[in-house]
Structure 1
């Protein structure tokens, strides 16, 4: 990676901020994330993304509590970090640490040789999502554009 500082703004494309998505299950949401990443960057394999997200979830849920999840995985052949921000129409069971349904997700797909920068990004996201007021602002968005703008203006 050539850029030294990863920010939410430079990993989240406007077309990967998705508002009020219908989600029926954790598996379906992970499939949806893989589809969206592949649609955004066809060089990244949808099946591989999905399988890697599922494998990561098996190690322990990425549901961090209060309706929030940060699913993430490393991906062979990926040379840049891809972020996907999703609000769900209704919360879905995600095996979160507090057993609450998840309705706000920020997925990260990172290169296989991910460095400490990527851990720093996860930490930044967790810190942002720890702010209940900020999460409420994201949840109130009714369209993808406002969702994207609120997310990047906070970075």
Structure 2
């Protein structure tokens, strides 16, 4: 599995500010609707339901919200950078500004886990996160994220 399998260039967005975690979930769902043709309302509901089980803020300003979606046929992602970090109830209590959301089919056991592992492992790289935070252009962010698979493959 590669980032380019999960993420399209149009599924990357930079937001100036977000008022709340719930508003961010709506922004994630709207982006997934625009980029992947998914219906936003069930995505928001699924993301909020998953967050109620425990926050998906993994630390160091990174969050990995994810949900299983009925009718979805493949694992898909969206990436959002927020210029003004927000509280996400992360494990380290640090505000979040890099968000990679994943949507998986209801029955995608191992594929969903592989995608989560890939994203988690990649966004633990502090050098990569520094590069992402230094750029506010969605196209550049997409390139930075998808270039990591070339480096990892080498």
Instruction: Give the secondary-structure state (helix, strand or coil) at the position aligned to 1:79.
Output: coil
Q: Please identify, of 28-37 and 116-125, the stretch whose mean Cα deviation from structure 2 is larger.
A: 116-125
Cα distance in 1 between the residues matched to 2:44 and 2:147: 29
Runs of 4+ deviating beyond 2 Å: 19-22
Match of 1:106 in 2: 100
Determine if the alignment matches structure 1 residue 11 to structure 2 residue 10. Answer: no
Gaps in structure 2 of 5+ consecutive residues: 150-154
Instruction: Give the secondary-structure state (helix, strand or coil) at the position aligned to 1:15.
Output: helix
Match of 1:136 in 2: 130
* Offset, 1:38: 1.1
* Offset, 1:62: 0.4
Gaps in structure 1 of 5+ consecutive residues: 1-5
Considering fraction of residues, name the structure with more helix: 2
Match of 2:59 in 1: 65
Determine if the alignment matches structure 1 residue 38 to structure 2 residue 42. Answer: no
Q: Equivalent residues in 2 for 1:83-102 (5 A)?
A: 83-102=77-96
Cα distance in 2 between the residues matched to 1:132 and 1:123: 16
TM-score, normalised with respect to structure 1 = 0.92
TM-score, normalised with respect to structure 2 = 0.92
Q: CA RMSD in A?
A: 1.1
Cα distance in 1 between the residues matched to 2:79 and 2:125: 16
The match for 2:117 among 101, 123, 127 is 123
